Structure 1
C-alpha cells in the first residue's frame, strides 16, 4: 500500500493522515505540528504475521489512549527505526528518545505518546505481542526501551529490514512470509542480547535462574523430549526449585512449554502460503496427539487450528 498527503486542506490532511496511520498500525490520535504545510507518505507491506512500513512525514504527535484499545483482542508491538532525526516516546513512567542508529519498542496495549518535531523517515514493524513473548518472555519490560543498532546483532537486524524493503517488490508472497519470520527471529535475538530485559521482579539470583530456564524452553520448543526434568538439568538446578520458580508466576513448567508451543503453531497456521498439514505443524512444535493439540489450541485461542487457517486465508483473499 502507498499513501501520500500532497494535496488537501489542513483539516483534511490531519484527518486523512490519522485514518491512514490507524488503519496501518492501530487506532491513534494524530496532531500534525503544522497541518497547513504537512506532507507525509507511507508504504506498507504484509510479511505473514508481521507488518512492515516505510514512512516519511513532517513533525507530528501520536497518542494512544485507553479508548483506542479497550476492545482489541490481539495485542501488538511497534518497532520503530528512525533515520533522519530522533523520536520521543513516553509510556507508563518511562520517557525516552531514540536517535538514528537505534530502534524503539512501543507496547500497543498501554497508553503512550510518540512524536518527532521535524521531518523524519521511519521504518516501522508491527509485531504480534504473543510472537515476541514466545521468544523472549514478558514484553512489559521491553516497553519504551531503545536498542543500539550500530553494531552486533542489532545492526544485522536493521540491515535485514533494509534488504527486505529493497527487495520487497521482486519477491512473491510466500517469500514475504518467510522474510517476516526471519525479521521476527532477528528482532528477538537482538533484544535478548540486552541485559535490561532480565526480569527484576524477583531476587537477582532467582530472576537469573528463571530467565535461563524460560530461554532454554523458548530455544528448544521443537525438541520432542523437552520437559521439566530436561529444563532443570540444563540449568543446573533441581526440579523442585524449577517448579517453585514458575509457581511464583502462577504457571507450571509444562503449561509454559505448552503455551509457547501453541503460539508457534498459530504463527505457522497464519502463514497463508504454508503448505504443511495440521499434523506436521503440531508435530514440529512437540504435539504428537492430534486430539490433545486441538483441545489445548481451542482452550487458548477460542477456535480450532483449522478455523485459524481458514480465517487467515479468507482474510487474505479480501
Structure 2
C-alpha cells in the first residue's frame, strides 16, 4: 500500500451506527491521484482499470455499509472504467452493483448489451462479468453493492437484469429511485439492525426487477406489496367519484394484471370491488351527516361518490350500517356533531351475499 492509498475504515463495535469512509483526491498530489482514485474505486466496487488524464483526475467517494450491502456516492470528472475478470465461474465474493445516475451521462456495456444512461436512470451491473463504463462528462452516481448470491435469482435471472436501465418515469423506476436515494443518503444514520432490514428490502426489489424482466408477476416479493398497496388505495380514494372505477382500470393504471391486483387484496380479506364500495359508503355516510349538505338529495350524494343507482345505494348502505341513508341523515340532524359515532368500517359478512365469480373476459363492476 502506498503512503497515499485509501485508509481502511475501522471495524464497528456491536450495536454501533454504521461507519462511513470518505475518499477524496483534492488532498492528493497530482501525480499520485490516478493510482489513489483507482484504488478507492476498486475497494468499493471491484478490481477496476480506470482511464483518466492526470489533469482531469478529481473526485470524491463516500461509502458505508447496510448489513451485507455497501452504499456509495461518487462525484467525479470524466473517466472510463473497465472490468475484465478471469473467464471462470463466479466466485463467492463477486458483487452486483445497482447504480443510479444522478448527474451527467454514461454508457454501460455488459453481456453484449449497451445501456445509454441519463439522470434518473438506474442500471444493474454484474462484477463477475466483463464491463465497460464510459462517463464522458462530470457525473454523480449513487450505488448499492452486495454479494451476487444474496438475491437468489439464479444465473438466468441475473442475466435478465444487467445492463438494462430502469427509467424514472416507469412504475419500477418510481419504486426504486426514492428507496435507493434514501438508502444511500442516510445509510450512516441507521443502527445496524435497521440497516440489515433495509438491505433486505433492496434484495426484495431486485426480485421485483427480475420478475418484471421475465414477464412474471412479482407475487413472492413483500416489498412490492408494501409499496403498491398504499398507492393503489390512494388511487381508489382519488377516483371514487368515477362510476367506471373497476379492478381492470386500477390494474392498468398500475401496470399489473387484474389477477395480481386481487392477490394483493387477499391479505385484506376483501375483494377489490368490496373495498371500492366500502370507501364509497364511508364517504357518503360522512357527507350525509354534514349539515352543509342538508340541501342535497340522497341520490345526489350517492351519485357524487360513484353509485349509479340510488336504490342499490340504499340497499348496500342499510346492509352495511343497519339503517337507511334517510334514517342516518335524520339521526345526524338531531345529534350534536361531537356525539355522532365515528364512521365504522362497513361490514358485509353474513349480511350481503358473496360476490359472484368473474367470468373470463368479464369486467368486475360490482362496486357501484
SS of residue matched to 1:132: coil
CA RMSD after TM alignment: 2.8
| Local SS of the residue matching 1:160 | helix
Q: Is the 8 A contact 1:153 1:186 kept in 2?
A: no
| Equivalent residue for 2:107, pick from 88, 91, 97 | 88
For each residue in 1:8-58, what CA deviation from the matched residue of structure 2 results, as whole angstroms up to 9, or x when unmatched? 3444111001111111111111111x3223211011111112111111000
Structure 1 pair 77/192, CA: closer, same or farther in 2 (3 Å)? same
- 1:60 equivalent among 70, 79, 103: 79
Q: Give the structure 2 partner of residue 31 of structure 1.
A: 51
Q: What is the CA–CA distance in structure 2 between the aligned matches of 1:89 and 1:180, rounded to whole Å?
A: 25
Distance 1:48 1:137, change over 3 A: farther
Contact 1:55–1:123 at 8 Å: present in 2 too?
A: yes
Q: 1:92/1:151 Cα in 2 relative to 1: closer, same or farther (>3 Å)?
A: closer
**What SS does structure 2 have at the residue aligned with 1:56?**
strand
Q: In the TM superposition, what is the alpha-carbon distance from 1:76 to its structure 2 partner?
A: 1.7
Match of 2:136 among 117, 131, 150: 117
Q: 2:93 aligns to what SS in structure 1?
A: coil
- Please list the CA deviations of residues 178-211 of structure 1 after superposition, one character each: whole Å capped at 9, or x if unmatched: 11111222243244334xx35xxxxxxxxxxxx6
Task: Check conservation: 1:157, 1:190, Cα contact below 8 A.
Answer: no
In the alignment, what sits opposite 1:142? 161
CA distance in 2, matches of 1:113, 1:136: 20
Match of 2:184 in 1: 165
- Work out the CA distance in 2 between the residues paired with 1:134 and 1:71: 14
Kindly state the Cα deviation for residue 88 of structure 1 after the two structures are TM-superposed.
0.6
Unaligned runs of 5+ in 2: 1-20, 223-368
Offset, 1:156: 2.3
C-alpha distance 19-8 of structure 1, shift in aligned 2 (>3 A): same
Distance in 1 separating the partners of 2:161 and 2:167: 14
Q: Select between 85-94 and 18-27 the one with higher mean Cα deviation.
A: 85-94
Matched residue SS, 1:153: helix
* Separation of aligned partners in 2, 1:66 and 1:136: 17
Q: Is this contact kept in 1: 2:65–2:187, CA < 8 A? A: no
Distance 2:97 2:64 in 1: 14
Q: TM-score, normalised by structure 1?
A: 0.57
For 2:124, the equivalent position in structure 1 comes to 105
Partner secondary structure for residue 83 of structure 1: strand
**1:179 alignment partner, one of 173, 182, 198:** 198
Partner of 1:261: none
SS in 2 for 1:66: coil
- TM-score computed with the length of structure 2 as normaliser: 0.50
Structure with max Cα Rg: 2
Question: Superposition pairs for residues 238-253 of structure 1, below 5 Å?
Answer: none
Alignment of 1:1-318 (within 5 A): 1-32=21-52, 34-67=53-86, 72-134=91-153, 138-194=157-213, 197-198=214-215
Q: Is the 8 A contact 2:66 2:187 kept in 1?
A: no
**Is 1:50–1:126's contact at 8 Å kept on the other side of the alignment?**
yes
8 A Cα contact 2:120 2:177, kept in partner? no
1: CA distance between counterparts of 2:187 and 2:39?
A: 25
CA contact 2:56–2:78 (8 Å) conserved in 1: no
Question: Take 1:107 and 1:166, find their aligned partners in 2: how far apart are those partners?
Answer: 23
